[in-house]
Amino acid sequence: MSAPPPLSSSPHRWLALAALTLGVLIVGLDGTVINVALPTVAGRLHADGAQLQWIGGGYLLALSVAMLPVGLLGDLHHA
């Protein structure tokens, strides 16, 4: 079995960096979108501050948990 090529010679390293950067950007953007929408949610659901924190935190937690299986699917399909 031959040794893998050095990391610096991988042609896909910039593509991987772009994908990671895009993922971090999307998570941050989703957190901002939820925080902007919380006043409307509070008005329609008559939620107090603690419930709004649960809504925002629960959404980001669900998004974070969903990233693990999606990453696994990407690994399985060599994406």
Mean per-residue pLDDT, 4-26: 77
User: Which of 70, 59, 63, 76 lies closest to 19, judged by CA?
Assistant: 70
Per-residue model confidence (pLDDT) at position 28: 85
Has this prediction a pTM greater than 0.75?
A: no
